Amino acid sequence: MNTILDTPQSLNGISITGVTNSRLSTIDMDNIPFGRIFSDHMLVADCIDGEWQAPEIVPYGALNFTPAMSALNYGQSIFEGMKAYKRPDGAPVFFRIMDNHKRMNLSATRMCMPQIPESIFINGIKTLIELDRQWLPSGDQGALYVRPLLFATDDYIGVKSSDNYKFVVFTCPVGAYYTKPVNLLATKEFVRASVGGTGAAKAAGNYAAAMMPDKMAKSKGYNNILWLDGKDHQYIEECGTMNVFFVIGDTVLTPRLTGTILQGITRNSVLRLLKDNGYKVEERPISIYEIEAAYNEGMLRDAFGTGTAASIAPINKIGFAGKDMQLPDVADRKVSTWLSDTLNGIKYGQITDPYGWMSEA
Ligand code: COI
């Protein structure tokens, strides 16, 4: 049975065409797969010849375009990922939304696309979530995943940056992205990004280019590739869905930012938490051979990924050169367990947020 809604015609200055029947009551919120369930509404704003038009909220659904659309042909398309959480009083709160806005505009610069004004990005998302706030799941790891998307809409197949773009934001109630500790395969066979390329941008093409290697990794029992650098083919980068961290002895290591990996907001939060709580942390090149040597000496204590979708995801094993490095039981992982508990505590309002990371937008 669908719920009949009485939606306002505008909110925070944004015009709304509401659904008449919400799909919410048909969704099993205790059993939500990642990324397959979409809430009732989406935000849409066009940028025409450099001029942003007024954003609108409309029912979630199909968009209309032709096969000549620039984004489909040449891949000028970027996105973001962020989460809204339900505060104990039921109000939606965002985790570091301003940083997502900044990063989306960095991606836009690299991909020769227009900057998205704060008034459209922040006010648009805040209004969309206010309208669809009933879609915020409760529970342990539940959140409303927010997916802002910017893509080129010119009907033109000459190779040039588009004159017109569409900004769309849709949301999905989600639980955990990885339901089990992840298995990663490090290989020299493929490269995700090189210095000077687009590796730091959340460009759709970066994800497309990873799909064939990831499929190969999956066929061998791994979840994803653990990417190595494009020059020496030995320095660890990221895993496509997450930044990565390793604990060797009592030192926490993560690859530094060189323009080839995503400037993860969860990565940055983890670094801040670790440094402020007296952990020894190093951001530097990490060779896969260093990880292998630490593993052989029994010094590889923990490894985990960080990302918006994945949160803190323990790594179960790392395959390299025909062998698997099996990480300790998750129950014995002090660093990633502490990080996960602390970050979740801040996000769900159980721990005071000392950094101003949580906001109503
Ligand atoms: C995110 O963590 O939000 C991402 O964009 C990664 C994606 C693979 C879900």
All structural domains of the chain with their residue ranges: 3-174, 182-347
pLDDT of residue 201: 98
How many CB atoms neighbour CB 259 within 10 A?
15
pLDDT of residue 5: 62
Closest CA to 71 of 112, 125, 105: 112
How many CB atoms neighbour CB 352 within 10 A?
9
Helix (H, G, I), strand (E, B) or coil at 70: helix
Q: Quickly name the fold that domain 182-347 has.
A: D-amino Acid Aminotransferase; Chain A, domain 2 (3.20.10)
Q: Is the pLDDT of residue 36 over 80?
A: yes
- Span 191-195, mean pLDDT? 97
State what percent of residues in the chain have pLDDT above 70. 98
Ligand 1 atom index nearest CA of 309: 2
| Kind and range of the H or E run holding 45 | strand 41-48
Task: Give distance in angstroms: CA of 69 to centre of ligand 1.
Answer: 25
Q: Please state, in angstroms and rounded to a whole number, the distance separating the CA atoms of residues 272 and 270.
A: 5
**Cross-strand partners of 183:** 317
Task: Give distance in angstroms: CA of 232 to centre of ligand 1.
Answer: 27
Q: Is the pLDDT of residue 2 over 50?
A: no
Q: Please state, in angstroms and rounded to a whole number, the distance separating the CA atoms of residues 327 and 77.
A: 37
C-alpha dist (Å) from residue 235 to 179, 187, 202, 242? 28, 11, 21, 16
- Span 220-241, mean pLDDT? 97
Q: Compute, in degrees rounded to 10, the torsion defined by CA atoms 338, 246, 311, 183.
A: -120
Q: How confident is the model at residue 1 (pLDDT cuts 50, 70, 90)?
A: very low
Which residue's alpha carbon is nearest to atom 8 within ligand 1? 241
Ligand 1 atom index nearest CA of 81: 3
Q: Please state, in angstroms and rounded to a whole number, the distance separating the CA atoms of residues 207 and 305.
A: 17
Task: Give distance in angstroms: CA of 81 to centre of ligand 1.
Answer: 6
pTM higher than 0.85: yes
Domains 3-174 and 182-347 share a fold: no
How many CB atoms neighbour CB 356 within 10 A?
8
Phi-psi region of 283 (alpha: psi -120 to 50; beta: other; left: phi over 0): beta
- Given a contact cutoff of 8 angstroms between Cβ atoms, the answer to whether 193 and 261 are in contact is yes
Q: Is the pLDDT of residue 344 over 90?
A: yes
Which residue's alpha carbon is nearest to atom 5 within ligand 1? 81
Ligand 1 pocket mutation, candidates 172, 239, 241, criterion most atoms within 8 A of CB: 241
Task: Give distance in angstroms: CA of 177 to centre of ligand 1.
Answer: 9
pLDDT of residue 6: 73
| β 14-16/56-59 pair status | parallel
Structure tokens at 61: 């659904």
Task: Give distance in angstroms: CA of 298 to centre of ligand 1.
Answer: 32
Ligand 1 atom index nearest CA of 241: 8
Ligand 1 atom index nearest CA of 35: 9
Task: Give distance in angstroms: CA of 10 to centre of ligand 1.
Answer: 30
Ligand 1 atom index nearest CA of 202: 5
State what percent of residues in the chain have pLDDT above 90. 92
Burial state string for 122-132 with b = 16 or more CB within 10 A and e = fewer than 16:
bbbbbbbbbbb
Q: How confident is the model at residue 141 (pLDDT cuts 50, 70, 90)?
A: confident
pLDDT of residue 8: 87
Q: Is the pLDDT of residue 335 over 80?
A: yes
For 248, list phi and psi in degrees, rounded to 5.
-110, 120
pLDDT of residue 7: 84
pLDDT of residue 4: 52
For ligand 1, residues with CB inside 6 Å are 81, 241, 307-310
Structure tokens at 318: 């790392």
Q: Please state, in angstroms and rounded to a whole number, the distance separating the CA atoms of residues 340 and 313.
A: 9
Query: What are the residue ranges of helices labelled H in the chain?
Result: 70-74, 97-110, 118-131, 204-219, 265-276, 288-296, 334-347
Ligand 1 atom index nearest CA of 308: 2
Ligand 1 pocket mutation, candidates 79, 82, 103, 177, criterion most atoms within 8 A of CB: 177
Which one-letter amino acid corresponds to residue 119? Answer: S
Cα-atom radius of gyration of the chain, to the nearest Å? Answer: 21
Contacts of 106 (CB under 8 A, 6+ apart): 200, 201, 263
- Span 77-89, mean pLDDT? 94
> What mean pLDDT, rounded, does the chain reach?
96
Ligand 1 atom index nearest CA of 83: 3
Which residue's alpha carbon is nearest to atom 6 within ligand 1? 241
Q: Please state, in angstroms and rounded to a whole number, the distance separating the CA atoms of residues 147 and 269.
A: 20
Ligand 1 pocket mutation, candidates 82, 308, 312, criterion most atoms within 8 A of CB: 308
CATH of domain 3-174: 3.30.470.10
- Span 311-328, mean pLDDT? 98
Q: How confident is the model at residue 3 (pLDDT cuts 50, 70, 90)?
A: low
